[in-house]
A and B are shown apart, each in its own frame.
Chain A
Amino acid sequence: MARNIFTVMRSSTPAATAERSSVSAPPPPNLPPPNTKQDAAAGVGVHIDPTLEAVRHDFTEEVEMAVQLRDVSAYYGTFQAVDKMTIPVPRNRVTALIGPSGCGKSTLLRCLNRMNDLIPGARVEGNIEFEGRNLLDPDVDAVDVRRRIGMVFQKPNPFPKSIYENVAFGARINGYSGDMDRLVEDSLRRAALWDEVKDDLSKSGLALSGGQQQRLCIARAIAVQPEIILMDEPASALDPVATLKIEDLMRELAEDYTIVVVTHNMQQAGRVSDYTAFLLAGEERVGRLVEFGPTQDIFTNPLDQRTEDYITGRYG
């Protein structure tokens, strides 16, 4: 499939493309939205007026949506962590979720593959449309969701088993009947790890370095052949060199997979992502979407004062 990542023209006719995209919320109003840079007066923007609508940039390319989140709210017991987020996730693109700690990025990510089901008392409302179905429906099998939407965690967490077993496990439990050796090799190759480990696949996954472990985790996620890969700050525990490898890998993987990545690192979001969603939590610690759009637009021309403040490092 032809990729044209940054063929983002500063489109003068955004409405046409926006309509084609499956954004369900009313098509983003043309700039400037009413709240743009108007509440800059409210100090450093930590206070969010809940009534404010998130700012949406126009899509500048034709792209299908892999997942469509609509009014997704997440609660831990009585605590609300995410409030009515509406975010489209374009297919075969890297979508970054950025924002300060505690703004619900990880929670939102975990909603996508129903990982929050595992936390007692956690509850997710709204609609996450994936292949025509709502992922949050009780009759959707969470196990199946997780097979098709893989996840890579913040801290590398290979199983305490051999490298081979780490990669083969997911395929095996999901009834993969093909050539397992081949699948393991392919997955490790795609995760750019094969050359480093091919001599001793029986070595423990925990014996690898941190960056290698994280690539092993990515190989493990790929081996199940998911459609979407969620990454929760995949490089935050790694040094710059390993981080760079992971970022290169994400760009390569985006050719075949849809990637959603949570990151604290502005530069990283700018380097790897095609689309960016900026989330922010107010004083009551409920995370809300502030701005969503093509990464270049968000970084070069943020429409909301708070986004600009965050990106330029004024707070967060």
Chain B
Amino acid sequence: MSAAAPTARPSSYSPRIGLRRSASVGFMAVAMLAILASMVMLGALIVEILLDGAAHLFTDGGAVERDTRSGLVSDLPTPESMGWMRWAVPLAILLPAIGPRLLRRLAPKLSRDMERILGLLAVAPAAIFIHILYVRFESAYLIDYAKLTDISGASGNIIQLFAEASGFQFVRLIIVGLVLPIAILVFGARWAPRMRRPSLLISAILIAAWLVYLFIDPWFLSSFPSRKPAEAGLFSAVTGTLYMMAITAALAFPLGVGAAIYLEEYARQNWFSRIIRVNIANLAGVPSIIYGLLGLQVFVRVMEFERSVLAGACTMALLVMPIIIVSAQEALRTVPPSMREAAYAVGATRWQVVRYHVLPYAFGGMLTGNILAMSRAIGETAPLIAIGALTFIAFLADSPTDDFTVLPIQIFNWVSRPQSGFHEIAAAGIIVLLLILLLMNAAAIIMRQRTRTDW
């Protein structure tokens, strides 16, 4: 570090930042403090988890009386064990915002490895936050269930959760409670050195998560619809949305990307492929209610899926497929021709060129398009009303053939009720829906960023 070095030396000034020296010293001091504080905080968190045990951290112990709450939290006490979040989140926002630049200045040679560590540090709070939030959410559900069925001693700690969970719930617990946080850690560490501005994106996600934490009652997310507004929750709507979106993505992404690859890489340029191209663009503009009617006839009646998650997902897949195809085609067109030629010139077959060069290059763009299409599908209400998704679901879908509801339908239902309490929780539901949308769009931006700076 050469704060006192003569400014005439070209190596001592940084065109990247362009701050004056006096300003950058103060800047570095703040950043150092942020890094130190964040490391201390993380250490304390790990010690807390290790010493106090999972039960203390992960449960509410049923302490909050259910009748006292409404959808929006104003008076709900934050559990003591979650107090660290108040400090963790602002720090985690500050740290990635200034850390990488600081590192590049201080130790340009070390910075790649250091940035990895920093990326890990920056996303660690997010991962832990998601893990805890989800386990709290599941344990609230478990305790609720225990009360109803008179099981005594349901504390909702993580071991009990795993013991009680079955079927779809178990899969959910593993994926959201374990795989997702670990994946966030791994990708945070891997992507941080590659992203140009990792700071802002991670910060945006954390702010969104923090908003959920501050304003949305975990009970609101973890209880079923009810006749009384104070007891109604979004549990079945949120899980139904996530469930349906997962199946929609699994159906639409491979089909859409496959279609795009065929159209861009394999199809000959003739009148037939031109008709297909034009009509895919047209399909992207067809009103969604028409897809709903199509889904009602084809999936609900002819294929006898009934009013299930599967029928909804198939309809949604049809709805978003044109968008996915068009965006995947765009992504494929960005692959430079010189790269294809290079691969062909060493004797690659067409499929090898696509598989090893075109797809990896275009994948980020395809994923972005997919997520944007998904975020359109998540807000669609009309087709699901057409196929008859229910608004009052007091259980979780355990298999794709179960009845379901989704967020927009639940909100629509609440808004149309006369009691003002339902209007309040509809507002809360809208915030949840918006936050999910924000998160998905942030993920899309991260992926686009990643492919742009890959290598």
Contact = CB atoms under 8 A, between A and B. Distances in A.
Interface of A: 113, 115, 118, 120, 143-144, 146-148, 150-151, 153, 155, 157-161, 169-170, 173-174, 204, 206-207, 217, 220-221, 223-224
Contacts of A161: 455
B454 interface: yes
Given A157-B339, A159-B339, A159-B357, A173 B346 contact: yes
Nearest to A117: B344
Contact of B345 (A153, A174, A204, A206): A153
Contacts of A157: 336, 338-339, 341-342
Given A173-B352, A204-B455, A159 B342 contact: yes
Given A160-B454, A160-B455, A173-B352, A224 B346 contact: yes
B190 to A, nearest CB: 15
B24 to A, nearest CB: 28
Considering residues B343, B346, B357, which has the most beta carbons from chain A within 10 angstroms of its beta carbon?
B346
B455 A173 contact: no
B347 A169 contact: no
A158 B347 contact: no
A206 B454 CA distance: 11
Contacts of B356: 169, 173
A37 B349 CA distance: 48
A159 B349 CA distance: 16
A206 B346 contact: no
A64 B342 CA distance: 29
B359 to A, nearest CB: 13
A220 B342 CA distance: 9
Nearest to B454: A160
Contacts of A174: 346-347
A24 B339 CA distance: 37
Given A120-B269, A173-B352, A155 B338 contact: yes
The 6 closest A-B pairs by CB, nearest first: A147-B347, A170-B346, A151-B345, A157-B338, A204-B455, A160-B455
25 contacts: A118-B340, A118-B341, A143-B348, A144-B347, A146-B345, A146-B347, A147-B346, A147-B347, A151-B341, A153-B341, A157-B341, A159-B342, A159-B357, A160-B339, A160-B361, A161-B455, A169-B343, A169-B356, A170-B346, A170-B348, A173-B356, A204-B455, A206-B455, A207-B455, A224-B346
Given A170-B346, A224-B346, 11 more contacts: A115-B345, A150-B345, A153-B342, A159-B343, A159-B357, A170-B348, A173-B356, A174-B346, A217-B342, A220-B342, A224-B347
A170 B346 CA distance: 5
Interface residues of B, number: 21
A120 B336 CA distance: 17
For A170, A173, A220, the residue with the greatest tally of chain B CB atoms inside 10 Å of its CB is A173
Contacts of B342: 153, 157-159, 217, 220
Contacts of B357: 159
A151 B455 CA distance: 24
A143 B346 contact: no
A148 B357 CA distance: 21
A221 B346 contact: yes
A115 B341 CA distance: 8
Interface string B148-159: 000000000000
A53 to B, nearest CB: 33
A224 B347 CA distance: 8
Contacts of A206: 455
A146 B350 CA distance: 12
A120 to B, nearest CB: 6
Contact of B344 (A115, A144, A155): A115
Given A160-B454, A169-B356, A173-B352, A118 B344 contact: yes
B272 to A, nearest CB: 15
Contacts of B338: 153, 155, 157
A150 B339 contact: no
A157 B345 CA distance: 11
A143 B345 contact: no
Contacts of A143: 347-349
